[in-house]
Structure 1
Amino acid sequence: MLVVTYNINGIGARLPALLEYLAERQPDVLCLQELKAPHEKFPEQAIRDAGYHALWHGQKSWNGVAILTREGPAQELQRGLPGDPLDEQSRYIEAAYQGILFCGLYLPNGNPAPGPKFDYKLAWMERLIGRGAELMAANVPVVMCGDFNVIPTNLDAYKPERWVTDALFRPETRAAFERLLAQGWLDALRSLHPDQTIYTFWDYFRNAFGRDAGLRIDHLLLSPAVAPALRAAGVDRFQRAKEKPSDHAPTWIELDPDAVLQPPGGH
């Protein structure tokens, strides 16, 4: 099973590139972030014509998340991150598909920090930690993936000293991410490539991609029931090299569905 997370940075502008990617890689599950489109403007028919089913949570101009599946539709379980009924930002969606619960998320950037946006980021992360604890307690197979806007360690940034005051790398941000991981989540890419420089994002400015001056901020976290099924993980850098790309590259894992541990009675 090929599972991909991809911050598309505007599905309207990058729909042709997305359709090309779907045809080329044929992921079984694709979690999208930063749709930047209201709910009614999601290109459902084009996605369906490409052979995919879609669940999405849109928002005008900003944010937006979606889960695309190839072999039949996923069952939507949650829209919006629990814990703040007044939060109207479209950043989270959960769906069950082929025995696995997929959580697609677009964690707030948080800049400038300190400030209200950083406070919102940290509060959002607290809610995510709470949801993570609930999912762990349920002991079900879960893949939590998306643009976390978190640089976990120095290895995950080109010239990390330039990021020390940034909301993506501040101690409070990294500490919250570490608390999430401490629940038992496996950082899939880092588990298979513990010492390798791997980036998933390159700014549009100063030829960042050409210089490989990137960040690793797109993550796929696996619950203990899914971790034994992990077979490979990587980043499709070729997509970032195409004309008018997103500033993120698709980040992927390969799972062996037969190795996913199901709770008693199935899921």
Structure 2
Amino acid sequence: MLIATWNVNSIRARHERLVAFLERHTPDVVCLQELKCEAEVLEALNLESLGYQVAANCQKTYNGVAILSKRPIEDVAIGLGDGEDDPQARLVSATIDGVRVVSAYIPNGGEVGSDKYVYKLRWLERLRAWLDAHCDPTRPLALCGDFNVAPEARDVFDPAAMEGDTLFHADSRDRLQRILDWGLVDTFRLQHEDAGLYSWWDYRMLAFPKNRGFRIDLILATPSLASRVEGSSIDREERKGKQPSDHAPVLVKIA
């Protein structure tokens, strides 16, 4: 099974690039974030014609997540389901060939100390509680998405300067670590130990050509699934060319 995760930053703007990506890599499962469209718009793109079933949690203009699969999708669940009044479409989960697949879009957080940052930390806490309540760390699960948190110093172009940034703040990393502690493995790091390997670069200040990036797009897996990882990569080519997303896709191959 080849699994990919990609924050497309508007599926309408990136539709042609998404189709080309699917044709080039032919992934079995793709988790998408920041669809920024309603369900009717997603349906009109007719991704089924490319051989994919679609499960999505859509929202007009903002957020939105989806799972595309060449294999049957079962037991679809929308959102965290924890009873909190939260209209933002940030999570969808489904079972595919016995693997529970989750596509998540964690809040950016804006400025540290702002209401948006409080919401981000709370959302990460809710995600951990959702794992506790609905998932089993002994069974195959892949939690994929844009986490808006770089896990370690080697995942940031300048960790000293970015210490106070929402994407690398100690509070954000602490909440992410609690999710990992539930029983998840960062699959990319099973194959790659080097620093300087990123998945997101700001559109501004020549961040991509200068490789001033963050690795914030992750595929986390339970040990039973992580033990079957054969390869992982970041497709930097998708950050190049005409109208790219500011994120690059991350891929992992499961035996």
Whether 1:25 aligns to 2:10 is no
Matched residue, 1:8: 8
Question: Partners of 2:53 and 2:136 in 1: how far apart?
Answer: 29
Could you tell me which amino acid in structure 1 is paired with residue 97 of structure 2?
A: Q
Matched residue, 2:57: 57
Question: Partners of 2:222 and 2:137 in 1: how far apart?
Answer: 11
Contact 2:36 2:60 in 1 (8 A): yes
Measured after TM superposition, the shift of residue 112 of structure 1 is 1.5
Question: Partners of 1:43 and 1:21 in 2: how far apart?
Answer: 19
Superposition pairs for residues 36-51 of structure 1, below 5 Å?
Answer: 36-51=36-51
Contact 1:56 1:65 in 2 (8 A): yes
Provide Cα deviations, 1:113-148, integer angstroms capped at 9, x if missing partner. 102111111111111111223455463210001000
Q: 4+ residue stretches of structure 1 with deviation over 6 A?
A: none
Question: Partners of 1:55 and 1:138 in 2: how far apart?
Answer: 23
Provide Cα deviations, 1:228-267, integer angstroms capped at 9, x if missing partner. 11111110111111211000000010001xxxxxxxxxxx
Contact 1:107 1:149 in 2 (8 A): yes
Could you tell me which amino acid in structure 1 is paired with residue 4 of structure 2?
A: V
Contact 2:2 2:29 in 1 (8 A): yes
Provide Cα deviations, 1:83-124, integer angstroms capped at 9, x if missing partner. 244111000000000110001100001112102111111111
Measured after TM superposition, the shift of residue 191 of structure 1 is 2.4
Contact 1:93 1:104 in 2 (8 A): yes
TM-score, normalized by length of structure 2?
0.95
Superposition pairs for residues 173-184 of structure 1, below 5 Å?
Answer: 173-184=172-183
Matched residue, 1:125: 124
Matched residue, 2:231: 232
Matched residue, 1:220: 219
Matched residue, 1:150: 149
Contact 1:189 1:234 in 2 (8 A): yes
Contact 1:82 1:127 in 2 (8 A): no
List runs of 5+ in structure 2 lacking aligned partners.
Answer: none
Distance change (3 Å), C-alpha of 1:124 and 1:222: same
Superposition pairs for residues 134-149 of structure 1, below 5 Å?
Answer: 134=133, 137=136, 139-149=138-148
Question: Partners of 1:193 and 1:99 in 2: how far apart?
Answer: 27
Matched residue, 2:96: 97
Superposition RMSD in Å: 1.4
Could you tell me which amino acid in structure 2 is paired with residue 150 of structure 1?
A: V
Measured after TM superposition, the shift of residue 45 of structure 1 is 4.7
Contact 2:196 2:211 in 1 (8 A): no
Q: Which one is further off, 192-201 or 171-180?
A: 192-201
Q: Secondary structure at the match of 1:208?
A: coil
Matched residue, 1:259: none
Question: Partners of 1:138 and 1:235 in 2: how far apart?
Answer: 26
Question: Partners of 2:117 and 2:195 in 1: how far apart?
Answer: 29
Question: Partners of 1:104 and 1:13 in 2: how far apart?
Answer: 20
Contact 2:155 2:195 in 1 (8 A): no
List runs of 5+ in structure 1 lacking aligned partners.
Answer: 257-267
Question: Partners of 2:226 and 2:137 in 1: how far apart?
Answer: 16
Question: Partners of 2:21 and 2:188 in 1: how far apart?
Answer: 21
